Chain A
Amino acid sequence: MLRDITLGQYYQTESVIHRLDPRVKLAGTLLFIISLFFFKNFIGYLIAAVFLMLVIRLSHVPFRFMVRGMRAVLFLLLLTVVFNLFLTPGEPLVILWKVTITKEGLKTAINMAVRLSLLVVGSSVMTLTTTPNNLTDGMEKGLRPLKVFRVPVHEVAMMMSIALRFIPILMEETDKIMKAQIARGADFESGNIIRRAKALVPLLVPLFISAFRRANDLAMAMEARCYRGGEGRTKMKPLIYQKRDRIAYLCILIYLTVGIWLGRLQLPAIG
């Protein structure tokens, strides 16, 4: 039933990308996404696509897993394309009855579609090659400078990793509660919105109670092991930059310079 939904879609395999420091991957993904918004011509997107392809090849993750992330945003993608295609004013290209497709509309639509696809696949690479725990570790260390501004970096990271850890547990719990209530004749699938919302009460009450109970138990267990926040806490596997991480940073830098330089060139208009 609910088991089909996967969050935290880590793909277990051996590759250079998997072994990279999570900070590199976080920064790289962020820079990659930002770079997408700088491009003014198709060369930029081409470079981005080639760069992404290379990374995917290196990561040993089958391509279909990358595209899987696309499915979730497919609706959004189509909506953007449709709106841009039909509602952008400009030089008419095709006129079908009352609908006009303009040259500018076509351009923006393709632009948006390519940008969004690259963005989604790009961030999929990160989540597919990094375990959630590693990711929060990287976030904690990477955001450490923010401590100067009294941002509780460690606490936020800890909260995130606990939340991620509990998603599958709560999923399973939801599944069990649903089954128990269906066995008592509960109906989660039919009726209008109000009826359906009401039908969720027998599911949500036990779920919340169990979540609170688990939170309480976990807090107790952590305290019993003398957890008292990030102050003076050491790591079993501290994050230390290796040679490959430096090389990765260099690659990202090269991509950024070349991509933005070529991607912002004013090309002679086609047609």
Chain B
Amino acid sequence: MSIILDHVNYIYGGDTPLAVRALDDICLQIPDGQFIGIIGHTGSGKSTLVQHLNGLLKASSGSIYFNGEDIYDRDYDRKKLRSKVGLVFQYPEHQLFETDVFTDVCFGPKNLGLDKKEVELRAYDALRKVGLPDELFYQSPFDLSGGQKRRAAIAGVLAMKPEVLVLDEPTAGLDPKGREEILQQIRELQKKTGMTVILVSHSMEDVAEYVDRIIVMNRGRVMYDDVPKEVFRHGKELEEVGLAPPQVTYILQELRRRGLQVDTDATTVEEAADVVMRALQYVT
């Protein structure tokens, strides 16, 4: 049970001279239950990549297998695939349309042809999972704050009970507190349900703390694909493609350069604090 991408290429603009190779020979394996971060600069192909996972875009060449089945097979049910691989886009404004939040979240499961009771049950469950307070359920989605809208949008996809949840820049445009809250919630959700979660972001900071694995995209290619610690070792290369390791990595590297024996592998603030304390022998 997994997603496999086998030499996937995608070219925008077909046969015109303006054609752009958005994905260049992508080979990936995404096993069940992993929490993955896809990172890349604007235009690196990360959004294009995730739109292939649920069949919204069709690869120019190469194949994608979901649970062992080729999704480009002629008789493959792509509508079902979209319910299995839930994709939440960057702007909640692009999907919220109903008169109240609850009805909006019902839209997804209703499209799956479920009966009314099941639809409402799922919608309620999804809204609870994203941590939207009950009193907002019957408000207009357009009256919500940025973070609440984002939650409603995520719930709208969660209600379809996907096996894989893909979030395209879920924190864009949120303040630091809202960002933290959303990411915490996603992590909790991932832990509780054991669902595969793919987080697309251009910020290392966002991703480092939460994910098991980081895929760095650059110019349509997979540049690194490893656990965060390993990826951040390539600080210089990351900087060259417009990305940066978390700030704590810089601090630790600088400390080390100045002679403090710290382990520079720490990726989160807590870990870093721990490492520094140990180096200063404040360990109890």
CB distance from A144 to the nearest CB of B (A): 38
Q: Are B160 and A185 in contact (CB under 8 A)?
A: yes
Residue in chain A with minimal CB distance to B109:
A185
Q: Are B97 and A210 in contact (CB under 8 A)?
A: no
Q: A202-B107, A209-B142 are in contact. Are A183 and B96 (CB under 8 A)?
A: no
A-B contact pairs, 18 of them (CB 8 A): A176-B89, A176-B94, A179-B89, A181-B95, A182-B56, A183-B89, A183-B157, A184-B82, A184-B95, A184-B107, A184-B108, A184-B156, A184-B160, A185-B83, A185-B107, A202-B97, A206-B93, A206-B94
Q: Are A184 and B94 in contact (CB under 8 A)?
A: no
Residues of A within 8 A of B56 (CB): 179, 182-183
Which of B54, B91, B112, B142 is the one whose CB lies under 8 Å from A176? B91
- Among A173, A177, A187, the most chain B Cβ lie within 10 Å of the Cβ of A177
Residues of B within 8 A of A185 (CB): 79, 82-83, 107-108, 111-112, 160
Q: Are A206 and B95 in contact (CB under 8 A)?
A: yes
Q: How far is the CA of A184 from the CA of B85 in the complex (A)?
A: 10
Q: Say if the beta carbon of B86 comes within 8 Å of chain A.
A: yes
Q: Say if the beta carbon of A250 comes within 8 Å of chain B.
A: no
Q: Which of B54-96 contact A (CB under 8 A)?
A: 54, 56, 79, 82-83, 86-89, 91, 93-96
Q: Are B89 and A187 in contact (CB under 8 A)?
A: no
Residues of B within 8 A of A180 (CB): 89, 94-95
A residues lining the B interface (CB < 8 Å)? 173, 176-177, 179-187, 201-202, 205-206, 209-210
Q: Are B91 and A184 in contact (CB under 8 A)?
A: no
Which of B82, B91, B93, B142 is the one whose CB lies under 8 Å from A183? B82
Residue in chain B with minimal CB distance to A184:
B108
Q: Say if the beta carbon of B253 comes within 8 Å of chain A.
A: no
Residue in chain B with minimal CB distance to A186:
B111
Residues of A within 8 A of B34 (CB): none
Beyond A179-B51, A184-B95, 6 additional pairs, beta carbon < 8 A? A180-B94, A183-B86, A185-B79, A185-B107, A185-B108, A185-B112
